[in-house]
Amino acid sequence: MPNYKKPPIKEAIIEIKFQQNRLYTIESIKRLVQEYEKSSSLKISGENVRFHHISQNNSAHTDTQLVGYMLVNQSRSRVLHVDIDRLSYSFFGEYTGWKSLQKEFLSYWEQLTRLFNETIENNQMFAQRLGVRFVNIIKLPIENFQESTKYIESNFVQDIAQYKKQHKTVREMTKRAVAYKDNYQYIIAEQICRNDQQKIDYFLDIDVAQYSESGQSIIDIPNILANLRDSKNDIFESYLKTKAKELFK
């Protein structure tokens, strides 16, 4: 993938989701979060909770479970979610490059493995999902949806054209696709809409992951992440025409 000077990336995420009941208790997560606060600029910003709807004896109620914490830096451009079954790290706003994203994520990962090494069976972690996700917003210098065909390569433009035949106006359109190949999962979401300047914005959200229902041993994270990023880049390039890519070269 070319090294774009102004990549349209608005959010970049690396995330590991562990098998349920294969990671840690909320007490051990609290210890880990304290270590993160000591060694980085991140501070606790909120709690992550999950809701459980319970029906019993003709009555229903909702229970809440504390599962982890969200940590952020002062500018909120870095966000770390640390849950009992998830470690997720995000860049928001200006994208400073893959090397820094991967380096910072791996530093938090290494702290986790060091702190809980005694609880890792055979020194191995098992994850259901290890993925990268990039959310792109491409501001097209056009005022009508039909012209998007000059910029967008994917089949989404055909859906736009078909919708336009049936409706007088198009305010926005969204498409989401999920696919599996071997042990990879691909989730691609597209949206096109009119912005405040009455121009057209194209959202391209690409999520690529290694996925295993039974869990996979995590041995060489940097190599796995490099392969996932390459797959993400291939999808990004294939969904856009040259005219779109020229906008952020």
Domain ranges of the chain: 10-51+63-123, 131-249
The answer, yes or no, to whether residue 165 has pLDDT greater than 70, is no
From 201, 202, 192, 206, select the one nearest 235 (Cα to Cα).
Answer: 206
Whole-structure pTM value: 0.88
The answer, yes or no, to whether residue 23 has pLDDT greater than 60, is no
**pLDDT tens across 83-108, in order?**
988 999 999 988 999 999 999 999 99
Q: Rounded to 5 degrees, what angle do the CA atoms 76, 78, 81 make?
A: 105
Give CA–CA dist 112/29, Å, rounded.
9
Give CA–CA dist 191/202, Å, rounded.
6
Q: Architecture of 10-51+63-123 per CATH?
A: 2-Layer Sandwich (3.30)
The residue assigned the tokens 């349920």 is 20
Which residues in 110-137 are b (16+ Cβ under 10 Å) and which e?
Answer: ebbeebbeeeeeeeebbbbbbbbbbbbe
Give CA–CA dist 34/82, Å, rounded.
11
Radius of gyration of the chain (CA): 21
Mean pLDDT value across residues 171-200: 90
pLDDT computed for residue 122 by the predictor:
47
Q: What is the mean pLDDT of the chain?
A: 87
The answer, yes or no, to whether residue 166 has pLDDT greater than 70, is no
* Confidence label for 219 from pLDDT (cuts 50, 70 and 90): low
**Which range (27-36, 72-81, 164-173) has the least confidence?**
164-173
pLDDT computed for residue 218 by the predictor:
64
The answer, yes or no, to whether residue 135 has pLDDT greater than 60, is yes
The answer, yes or no, to whether residue 243 has pLDDT greater than 90, is yes
pLDDT computed for residue 216 by the predictor:
61
The answer, yes or no, to whether residue 10 has pLDDT greater than 80, is yes
Class of CATH domain 131-249:
alpha beta
